[in-house]
Structure formats: C-alpha cells, structure tokens
Amino acid sequence: MQTQEVDGRRNETEEERLDRNLTELLNELRVALPGVQVLFAFLLTVPFSQGFPKLTALQRDVYFAAFLATALATALFIAPTTYHRIHFRAQSKERLLLTSNKLSIVGSVFLAVAIGAVVFFVTDVLFRVATASVVTALISAWFGWFWYGLPLLRRLAESREPSSGAG
C-alpha cells in the first residue's frame, strides 16, 4: 500500500504509523549495531597484544573507558530487540517505540564517547598527548555536530514552523 500525504502528513492509521516507526528504528539499529560490535571486538583483542604492557597509565585508562563505553553502547543498541521480544503482542507498541528511541539515543552517546576514546588512545600511542587531545577534540566536535547538533537544530526549526507534522 502506498501512503499518500495530506497537508504534509501521511495518510495512515495510528497502527500503521507505529509499525512504520518501529521498522525505521530497527533499520537504524541495524546500521549502528555492527559498527559498535566491530569496535568491541577490536577492543577485546587489545590487551592480548604484545605492546599492551608498554602502555602508559593514561593510555590504559582511556582504553578502559573506551571498552566500557562500547560495552554500554552495545547493550543499549540491543536492548530494543529484547524489549520487543519480551513485550511481543502486549499491545504496547508506542511505549516500545518511546523507550527504544531513548535507549538508542543514549547508546549513540556511549558510542560517540567510545569512538572519541579510541581516537585518543590510538593517536596517543602514535604521537603525543597534545596531538591526541587536539585530534580527539576535533573528532568529538565532528560527531557532536552531525549526530546531535544538526538534528537538534533542525528539530528546533521544525518546532517553530506552523503545523509541523509528527513523524
């Protein structure tokens, strides 16, 4: 069935909208989850490499922060699937969507922290702390803008538009 728009809004029932929103959320998680899993797998191997004992205390601390942030991001990105399975046919799809949306946003924050920590870790191993700090700040700003700043700015603009539709 092709959905047509009326006055900028989709012509769909509430159930159809919830189904579409759930499908969109799950598709978005299918993009994020493999990346966080690959990062986690990489971080699992680091302590077993020959150079690990030579790391400074700061490098070990940053590595551990990246490791924990990646574990937390993984848990949060997988949580909507478990939530959905436990609440299957419980007629609470809107609650599922609201909760899963929050979980995925918080998961993306932990993923951004993990990526920033990994960037710092690798750059510090290759260069010096000062270089690692500058590169990490730039990368973190990049992620912050494209993952949070740009969408929040757009949302703010849409909220100021008359009759902005819900998605």
Token reading at 1? 């069935």
Extents of the domains making up the chain: 13-158
Predicted TM-score (pTM) of this structure: 0.82
Q: What is the pLDDT of residues 85-122, one digit of tens each?
A: 887 777 778 888 899 899 999 999 999 999 999 999 99
H or E element that contains 37: helix 14-45
97 vs 133: CA distance, rounded Å: 37
Q: Of the candidates 52, 75, 51, which has an alpha carbon nearest to the alpha carbon of residue 64?
A: 52
Which range has highest mean pLDDT (25-29, 83-87, 149-153)? 149-153
Q: Percentage of the chain with pLDDT > 90?
A: 56
Write the single-letter amino acid at 31: V
125 vs 20: CA distance, rounded Å: 45
**Residue partners of 74: CB distance under 8 A and separation at least 6:** 33, 36, 37, 40, 107
Cβ 18 vs Cβ 92: under 8 Å: no
Please check the confidence at residue 1 and state whether its pLDDT lies above 70.
no
